[in-house]
Amino acid sequence: MLVLDRLSKTYADGTSALSDVSLQVRAGEIVALIGGSGCGKTTALRLVAGLDRPSAGAVKLDDEVVQEPHPAIGIVFQEPRLLPWYSVADNVGFGLMDRPAAERRDLVAHALDRVGLADHGHRWPKDLSGGQQQRVAIARSFVTRPKVLLLDEPFSALDAFTRGSLHEHLFRLWEESRPTVVVVTHDVAEAVTLADRIVVMRPNPGRIDDEIALGLARPRDRAAPAVEAAARRVLAALDRSLKPVQNRPAGGPAGNALWW
């Protein structure tokens, strides 16, 4: 289990990015973090990844405190961040250098096949489209079979068609080993498509404002009434998260625009 235990982060300039955030993510669960600007979503992800240290509280994976990058925790960033001097296959196999060559080749070939790039292993990253590069990044993150996978808006720069295709590739790989996944996104439809649970955060300082368990079977059709209803619930929660607590209604109609 991944645990964020009363996590806070204050930067050297006095900015309070996170305050007293507690969250438990079950093994194999997919949780989406969503909220307005300045609510600490990416800060939380960096703390879980061990790329930064909290000012208070702790991140724990199976009772082990995470204080630095951890071999059981993988991350996919907004940009693919591929090594341009390595082939596609070598980029995917970068984290497998300790494995025998034959095993590494088999694992890389399988991962590339699962993201629809079986015939692209010999190519260079510069020769791929943006969507293909992100597929390579996803394959690289899964090939080591991490316990936890963090996704920091990896589909935000892609068109809707490519984004939907990558969601399918992501699920194919996820179904094989069922890692715990935490995804940061600004896209409500994406959150509802991917997640088992959505955590709505509020800014200044960043903290958890609401949690929405979806309970929707997969695969999910975005046009299905249950999925559209879930999206409206998330929009309403997002609207409430931006209002001062003393001025907030207990509930209300869903927002009509993507204000964030």
- Whether the model clears a pTM of 0.85, i.e. scores above it, the answer is yes
Q: What is the pLDDT of residues 53-84, one digit of tens each?
A: 999 999 999 989 999 999 899 999 888 899 99
Whether 5 has a pLDDT exceeding 80, the answer reads: yes
65 and 165 in a single domain? The answer is yes
User: Of 145, 174, 189, which residue is a domain's last?
Assistant: 145
Domain boundary among 121, 145, 169: 145
Q: Which of 206, 230, 208 is nearest to 218 (CA)?
A: 230
* CATH code of the domain containing 216: 3.40.50.300
Cα pseudo-dihedral 240, 244, 249, 254, rounded to 10: -20
Domain that holds residue 38: 2-72+147-247
User: Which of 145, 164, 195 is where one domain is finished?
Assistant: 145
Dist. CA 80–CA 107, nearest whole Å: 20
- 250 exposure class (CB count in 10 Å sphere: 0-12, 13-18, 19+): exposed
- CA distances (Å), 43 to each of 21, 52, 65, 142, in order? 11, 8, 17, 22
Q: What is the pLDDT of residues 131-186, one digit of tens each?
A: 899 999 999 999 999 999 999 988 777 777 777 888 888 888 888 889 999 999 98
Residues 117 and 92 in one domain: yes
For position 247, what pLDDT does the model report? 57
Strands (E), the chain: 2-10, 16-25, 30-35, 56-61, 64-65, 73-76, 148-152, 180-184, 197-202, 207-213
Distance CA 185, CA 248 (A): 24
Does residue 152 sit in the same domain as residue 62?
yes
pLDDT digits (tens, 9 = 90+) for 189-233: 899 999 999 999 999 899 999 999 998 988 888 889 999 999 999
